[in-house]
């Protein structure tokens, strides 16, 4: 008889371990302020930027600290996007703007930072090495804190799509955030690349964050005449000429281009104001279509709803204390 009792106890413990109780995920901000200096990819201008803690429900806010413009606050939200030509630019009614925010936004999304004030003394976020990795390094150096408010997410409730057969972005309901992206360029060094990634439990940092922005030699003259890519160089972009990569060190990932497009997509979609729970599929999408997707999503109340995030929304995440911190770096 004692053997039977013992067996039942073991079974009970196992079944509890295999069915974790969901735990409310709290909003996060930075533990302290941290700064960096660099040049803008398109402006070529030197800027100083700092990432600062902010109260719960603040969201991500940019604050231009230089004197230009009357009002210096610009919320990092889809409805403040004013330009999507080669980069994502947000601006306010007073004409103050900040451009090329997408790689920083991707890092904040990847780290699970809900609330931060980004102070910047110029009109373009520094490009750093062309990826999101330096911004993740800054966030990790500053540290992250849980705040006294539950984290909200935007749950996709029904399928929605923008674009056409040549380029599109769609979302369908799912239990976590994943992105499937396909690029197709004439330059043979890029050609067709496709990647699908479930962005949970550290995959943004390890699989996407280091992918750099890229450009084509044959486009450089036209871009510079248009006042773009003035700060671009082999130090902050992968440069492609036909079937050749001009960077001496080559690529960081074999399919670095599609990974960078996923990075841009994660950054642009974080302008939703909260993480998205759903499956994103994209073909040849870029900043303009990424923003169009959010405009269409928020125009249709039946396509989404706010939900409180729980650790149960993230498959594969266990509930030990050590792994809770991993959840933050999605």
Would residue 319 show up in a list of annotated catalytic residues for this protein? no
Q: Which of 213, 279, 285, 291 binds Zn ion (CB under 5 A)?
A: 213
Q: Which stretch binds Zn ion (CB under 5 A): 18-26, 56-64, 213-221, 241-249?
A: 213-221
Phi, psi of 261 (to 5 degrees): -65, -35
Tokens of 47: 């800027």
Distance between CA atoms of residues 76 and 118, nearest Å? 10
Nearer to Zn ion, 256 or 264 (CB): 264
Minimum distance of Zn ion from residue 259's CB (angstroms): 11
- From the list 42, 260, 287, 319, the catalytic residue is 287
Contact region for Zn ion (CB under 5 A) — 168-176, 210-218, 222-230, 294-302?
210-218
Q: Cβ of residue 264: shortest distance to Zn ion, in angstroms? A: 4
The residue from 114, 264, 268, 281 that contacts Zn ion (CB under 5 A) is 264
Least spacing, CB of residue 103 vs Zn ion, in Å: 6
50 part of the interface to Zn ion, by CB under 5 A:
no
Q: At closest approach, how far in Å is the CB of 267 from Zn ion?
A: 7
Stretch that binds Zn ion, among 40-48, 179-187, 243-251, 258-266 (CB under 5 A): 258-266
281 touches Zn ion by CB under 5 A = no
Q: Indicate the residue among 213 and 313 with the shorter CB distance to Zn ion.
A: 213
The residues annotated as belonging to the active site are: 287
Interface contacts to Zn ion, rule CB under 5 A: 213, 264
């Amino acid at each position: 008889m004692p053997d039977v009792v013992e067996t039942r106890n073991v079974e009970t413990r196992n079944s509890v371990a295999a069915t974790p109780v969901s735990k409310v995920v709290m909003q996060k901000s930075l533990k302290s302020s941290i700064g960096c200096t660099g040049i803008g990819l398109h402006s070529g201008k030197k800027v100083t930027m700092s990432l600062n803690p902010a109260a719960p429900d603040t969201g991500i806010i940019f604050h231009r600290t230089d004197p230009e413009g009357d009002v210096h606050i610009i919320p990092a939200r889809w409805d403040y996007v004013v330009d999507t030509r080669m980069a994502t630019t947000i601006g306010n009614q007073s004409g103050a703007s900040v451009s090329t925010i997408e790689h920083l936004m991707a890092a904040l999304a990847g780290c699970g930072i809900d609330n931060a004030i980004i102070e910047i003394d110029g009109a373009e976020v520094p490009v750093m090495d062309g990826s999101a990795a330096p911004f993740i390094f800054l966030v990790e150096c500053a540290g992250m804190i849980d705040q006294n408010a539950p984290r909200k997410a935007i749950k996709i409730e029904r399928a929605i799509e923008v674009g056409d057969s040549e380029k599109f972005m769609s979302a369908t309901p799912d239990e976590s955030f994943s992105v499937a992206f396909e690029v197709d360029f004439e330059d043979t060094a890029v050609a067709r690349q496709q990647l699908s990634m479930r962005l949970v439990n550290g995959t943004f940092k390890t699989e996407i964050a280091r992918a750099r922005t890229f450009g084509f030699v044959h486009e450089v003259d036209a871009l510079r005449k248009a006042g773009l890519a003035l700060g671009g160089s082999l130090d902050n972009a992968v440069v492609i000429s036909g079937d050749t990569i001009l960077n001496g060190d080559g690529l960081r990932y074999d399919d670095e281009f599609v990974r960078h497009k996923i990075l841009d997509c994660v950054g642009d979609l974080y302008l939703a104001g909260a993480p998205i729970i759903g499956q994103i599929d994209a073909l040849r999408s870029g900043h303009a279509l990424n923003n169009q997707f959010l405009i269409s999503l928020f125009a249709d109340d039946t396509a989404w709803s706010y939900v409180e995030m729980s650790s149960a929304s993230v498959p594969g995440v266990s509930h030990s204390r050590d792994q809770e911190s991993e959840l933050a770096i999605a």
